[in-house]
Structure formats: structure tokens, C-alpha cells
Structure 1
Amino acid sequence: MTGFTWDEATSTGIGSHPGEDHTEAIKVVLGESPQLPYLPELPARGVGADMIGRTASLLVDLPVEVQPSGWRFTDRPGRDLKRARDHLVRDLDALEEAAQGYEGPFKIQVCGPWTLAGAVELKYGDKTLADSGAVRDLVESLAEGIAAHLADLRRRLPGVSEVVVQVDEPGLPGVLAGTVPTASGFGRLPAVDAQVAAEWLGAVLPAGAFPVVHCCAPGVPFGVLRKAGARGVSLDASLLARRDEDAIGEAVEAGTALFLGVVPGVDTRLPDVGVIAKPAVELWRRLGFPSATLASQVVLTPACGLAGASPGYARAALAACRKAARVLREDPGE
């Protein structure tokens, strides 16, 4: 066992899967990511199955609907919100049946507050991110919704030892840099102060769970994520720059887990498992950490979600990550 909630040489997925068969996707996850399975998301099912709609369905007392411009807050719940909630309930029902008797850690994914605020519009059309009071309301509502979601999952899967909550924040670098476009698209919203970003992100990271923040964009703000209380950071290894390595080293030294994306999220020819594991092995060597900690502190994943892949490739990508994770333990590159 390791100091983390998972065993050594663990792999998992980011979240999204191709197709519309949620039962089959759950079976694939349980089969190919057995050490850290997760609840897959299938955005191809349409409205409410996408990342934004799925998480918006968790919000408490903040109903949403779909407009031509995307998701928007509204006065009362309607069919779009009902559809999103129905997707999630069906997924949880299927998971409960397929994972009977499962014991161990389990991962769920939610969209983070800053990415959500940059995507959902207020009733009068501006993005939520444009109104700090509205963002605060969203943060409070999301925190309450995530807590309820966690309680429901634990009730359905009583053998789960710990829940890993992956908070997806691909939009956070843009929020911090002030590059998020206004609703009209003609301007940019002001940058959010890093301290505020960390504080409000931290407010939705649930107590009693293992919080991981996923950011598949360049310029992962490691300092903000650590201040927020993230115990793990999930990122695309191919986007790492040497200038990021000091921040990564500080995070690892502080005990932060790395969920390292090492295979593409779309169909391609997958290389040998040793090649797949190489970015993790070489990063660890450059940072100067002992090889004995590599297989426990690094979890291998696809670079991002698998929604754009074929079903066959999605299965193969998860299997490749699972096999490559063993290399971290068996052949750490010494």
C-alpha cells in the first residue's frame, strides 16, 4: 500500500467516453481501470450529458436551461435541467448494479467553479464570471451540490474506501490571465486575482474526500491549486514545459499526487508501454526524486477525456495506461 488512497502502479481515466451506452462504458472502466475506477461521462448523448450541463445539474437552487448561446441560469427548473439530472441518475443506477461488492477508492468528476462561471450565462446574458457576486453564489451552490453527490455515491457503493473528486478546471489559466471572452465575444473579462481564485476553488473541494484538480490546458497554475487545497493535480504530460518543473517539484515534495496524461485522447497508434511510461520516468529523474516513490505518487491517465475517440480506442487507451503504470514500479529507469 502507499500513503495515498490507491495502491502502487495505478492508472485511471479522465472522465468522458465515446458513444451513448453508459452501461457498457461503466463495464469498460471497471475492467480496464480496476484500481481507481470512475463514473464515465458520455457527452454524445446530448443536452445535459456535457461537462457543463452535468455539473450544473448538481447546483442547488440555481436552475439552468439551454439557450442558443449555451447554458444559462433561469428562474425555474425546466426540461433541460431534468434531462441532465436524469442522465446522472441513470448512470449512477447502472454503476450501482455493475459495481456491487466493489471495495477500494473510486473517482468522480465535476466541472470546477471557474470553468463553470466562464461558460454559464446569467439571466440577462453576461457570463457569470463577469459578476463576482454571482460567482460567489455559484461556488456556494456547487459546494452543496458536490456534497450531496458524494453522499449519494457513498450510499450506493458502501464498499468505497475513499472518493477521489476530480474537479475539472480547463478554463482556469484563462480566468487568471484575463483571456476569457465576454458573452458578446468582442471583449475580454478582467483577470481574477490568484488569491481569490484559490479561495473560491478551495471552497468546493469537499472535506472527507481526496480532491484532484484536472487542467488539460497549458500553463497549469500549480501555486493556485496548492493554495486551494488540491491534493492531486491532473495534467497532460505533452503540454509540460521545463519552466513548469520547479512548481511541479515543489508540489511533489509537499506530497501532491500527479495524475499524468500519457496517451492521446483520440485514436492513434499506441506505442509500447515503456514508451508510454517514459514521460513520468524521465520527469521523476529530472526532479531528483527517489524512484521508489514514483509508482505511488504518479497515476497514469489519458491526456484528456476520451469522448472524441472510438470505443475500441478508448478501451485500448485505458488498458495501455494500466500496463504502463506497472513499468513505474517494475522498471523505474535506473
Structure 2
Amino acid sequence: MNDYPWGEATATGVGSYPGEDHLEALRVAFGELSMPYLPELPARGVGADMIGRGAALLVELPVEVQPSGWRVTDRPGRDAKRARDHLIRDLDGLEEAAQGYEGPLKIQACGPWTLAGAVELRHGDKVLSDAGAVRDLTESLAEGLARHVEDVRRRVPGARLVVQIDEPGLPGVLAGTVPTASGFGRLRPVEPVIAGERLGTVISAIAPSAPPSGTQAWLAARSEEASGETDSGVFPIVHCCAPRTPFDLLRTAGARGFSVDMSLLRSRDEDAIGEAIEAGVALFLGVVPGTDARLPDVGVIAKPAIELWRRLGFDPAGLARQVVLTPACGLAGASPRHAKAALAACREAARVLREDPGE
């Protein structure tokens, strides 16, 4: 039985990709992966990275790049237009690359807390410093991301969408380690309940029926959708390539999957991960370096995921369904050759999870 929008032995990318040729990046994503994704190409300049793409999704919250970074303004500036142009160009390329495609497709967007820690208010402090501004940004992002999802669904009607919310800044938000705009201080920590509520606002905008645990409600909603009932059919996951990922908070917010760098997991994380797996939450495990390095044998790449599954005591037969392999993080810092090889290595290592999960 397949409980997820993907099949067994699945691999995908995280987000960024090297170079400036978005069509080539898409060709690699569709050619090397069982779950292709929409790459981000930061090398193209302002507006093409994770924060710029998040800025491009904001609705009725104009922003522009200042010397210190993105800032809320009275009207959209040329950098916001450039970010939007990058996104539209990428979507046009996706539509071309995905002609006739049916299957899982992952897209990703910056989460509200990481975006709030990067964008400044008009007077220069970060959005994160103002609870009301965080609320406004969250609602703007939620509306923009919902529109983005519908656009992708229209362009690739055969896709089973996995939407990844990127929150590498969330642990710092919770710990109170995000620097002020001046860099001389630190912003106050955000209460976990508030953090979960804001993240949940974005997730519920794209997946209204998102159950806080497991996938059974999602499966039921998919059945309702097939019979004419309303549901987004989106499978939301949250990516955090930073230590101290708050797994319980992500589940409470409605995430149906966690995307993490395998090397950053600690023994203290395993109880929360085990509870999530038991509830049906998917794991997207980063097992291949995101920068140029010698890639080990695929059996070695797959081994940490297999060992984690064994330590937690789960049935090996479920490993290849519930675990998706990815690079450790984005590939923007890699050479194109390594980036392509890394995705191929994830694909081959994912097959090991299915073929010999007990060894």
C-alpha cells in the first residue's frame, strides 16, 4: 500500500542548483529523479535565491532591495519585479519540461519565520522584531503561496504536488539568536506556540485538511477530491537544514514530512522522529554533500537512513515508502557536474532502501 504521493525508492532535490540555465536545471531534475523538483538558481543574481523567491510571492506587501537587504517599501521596486520575472521564467520552463508528466513533483518556498528574519521593515529593523508585522507577512506569504500552488497545478495538471516550506532560520528564531538589523544585538526568542501558529497559517493555506499527525486524513481527503469534494491534494513538508530542528512544532503546525540534513541529527532527536514516523510523517533525509566532494558507494550513502530506521525499531518494509533521499541541502555551492552526480547518487541510494533495507 502506498500512503504518499510518491512511490517506493524515491529521491528528490532540496532547492537551489548551480549555474544560470534554468532549462538545463529542469532537464537534470526530470532526468535524474523519481520526484523532480523546481530548482532555484541563485547565481542569476538578486531575486533568484530563496529569500528573493519568497519576496516574489508576497501579496500586497511591496518590497525592494536596499544596501542591507530586502526591505518593505511603499511600492514594488525593480528588484521585486526581477524576482517575479525569475519565477515566471522558471514556471514557463517547468511547464515545458513537464509536458505530459504524471507523478510526484516538489516545489519549495521560504517559510514565514526565515523570511521575517531576513526582510526589514521600512524603518530598518527586521520584520521579526514586530509581532504585528510578522502576522502581516505571514498572511501575505500564505496567500501568495496558495496562488503559486494553483499556478503550478494548472501548468502541470498531472502532478501530485509536494510543497516544501524552507525554514532554516526557525531554530534561531526560537532560540533568540537572530541578529538585529544593526548586528549589535539579538532579537527576542519567539514562543513555540506562536511560531507553530504562524507556520500553520502558511501550511493550511496550501493544504487546508493537513492533519497534524499522519497521512490518513490526507488520504481520505484525496478520496473526497476524486469524488468532487474540495481539497488541495497538496502534501506539505518543512525543510530545516540547521541543528535543533523543532520536530514536534512542525508536526503541530501541520507538516506531513520533515526534510533535514542527516548529519545534523542527534540522538536526542530520535524520540521525536520515532513518534513522527509512527504517526505517518515522511522523512526527507539529506545524505549526500551539497558541495563538491567524492561521493561514496550508494550502499554507504543509504546506510545512515537504514541504521536510523533499525534503531527506531520500525518494519524494514516501510523504509522505502516513508523515507525520501536528498542532498544534505541546496546545491548552489556545487559545480554542475557534482550537482548532477549528487542527485543521481540519491536516486541510486534510494533503490538500496527498497532492495535490501535490512542490511
**How many percent of aligned residue pairs carry the same amino acid?**
77
Gapped runs of 5+ residues in structure 1? none
Tell me how far apart the structure 1 counterparts of residues 199 and 333 of structure 2 sit (CA, whole Å).
28
Normalising to structure 2: TM-score of the pair? 0.92
**What do residues 304-334 of structure 1 show as CA deviations (whole Å, max 9, x unaligned)?**
0000000000000000000000000101134
Aligned to 1:26: 26
* Aligned with residue 237 of structure 1, among 253, 256, 262: 262
Aligned to 1:171: 169
Equivalent residue runs for 1:203-218 within 5 Å = 203-205=201-203, 206-207=206-207, 208=232, 209-218=234-243
Extract structure 1 runs of 4+ deviating beyond 3 A.
none
Aligned to 2:351: 326
Aligned to 2:53: 54
**Secondary structure in 1 aligned to 2:165?**
strand
**What do residues 52-102 of structure 1 show as CA deviations (whole Å, max 9, x unaligned)?**
011111100011111111111110012111100000101111111111000
Deviation at 1:36, TM superposition (A): 1.0
Tell me how far apart the structure 2 counterparts of residues 5 and 96 of structure 1 sit (CA, whole Å).
20
**Secondary structure in 2 aligned to 1:57?**
helix
**What do residues 132-163 of structure 1 show as CA deviations (whole Å, max 9, x unaligned)?**
00000001001100110011111111111x21
Aligned to 1:248: 273
Tell me how far apart the structure 1 counterparts of residues 194 and 94 of structure 2 sit (CA, whole Å).
36
* Aligned with residue 340 of structure 2, among 315, 319, 331: 315
Task: Note if 1:262 corresponds to 2:261.
Answer: no
Aligned partner letter, 2:278: E
Aligned partner letter, 2:22: H
Aligned partner letter, 1:255: G
Aligned partner letter, 2:107: I
Task: Note if 1:227 corresponds to 2:226.
Answer: no
Tell me how far apart the structure 2 counterparts of residues 195 and 320 of structure 1 sit (CA, whole Å).
38
Aligned to 1:271: 296
Tell me how far apart the structure 2 counterparts of residues 108 and 310 of structure 1 sit (CA, whole Å).
22
Aligned to 2:8: 8
**What do residues 221-276 of structure 1 show as CA deviations (whole Å, max 9, x unaligned)?**
00110110000000000011111111110111111100000000000000000000
Tell me how far apart the structure 2 counterparts of residues 45 and 63 of structure 1 sit (CA, whole Å).
22
**Secondary structure in 1 aligned to 2:146?**
helix
Tell me how far apart the structure 1 counterparts of residues 32 and 317 of structure 2 sit (CA, whole Å).
24
Tell me how far apart the structure 2 counterparts of residues 70 and 78 of structure 1 sit (CA, whole Å).
13
Tell me how far apart the structure 1 counterparts of residues 54 and 27 of structure 2 sit (CA, whole Å).
23
**Secondary structure in 1 aligned to 2:11?**
coil
Aligned partner letter, 2:29: V
Aligned partner letter, 1:225: L
Tell me how far apart the structure 2 counterparts of residues 58 and 71 of structure 1 sit (CA, whole Å).
13
**Secondary structure in 2 aligned to 1:322?**
helix
Aligned partner letter, 1:202: G
**What do residues 271-296 of structure 1 show as CA deviations (whole Å, max 9, x unaligned)?**
00000000100000000001000000
**Secondary structure in 2 aligned to 1:230?**
coil
Deviation at 1:105, TM superposition (A): 1.5
Aligned partner letter, 2:189: A
Aligned to 1:202: 200
Tell me how far apart the structure 1 counterparts of residues 155 and 76 of structure 2 sit (CA, whole Å).
26
Equivalent residue runs for 1:55-204 within 5 Å = 55-160=54-159, 162-204=160-202
Indicate the RMSD between aligned Cα atoms, in angstroms.
0.7
Tell me how far apart the structure 1 counterparts of residues 287 and 103 of structure 2 sit (CA, whole Å).
24
Tell me how far apart the structure 2 counterparts of residues 293 and 171 of structure 1 sit (CA, whole Å).
31
Tell me how far apart the structure 2 counterparts of residues 69 and 77 of structure 1 sit (CA, whole Å).
17
Tell me how far apart the structure 1 counterparts of residues 77 and 243 of structure 2 sit (CA, whole Å).
36
Gapped runs of 5+ residues in structure 2? 208-231
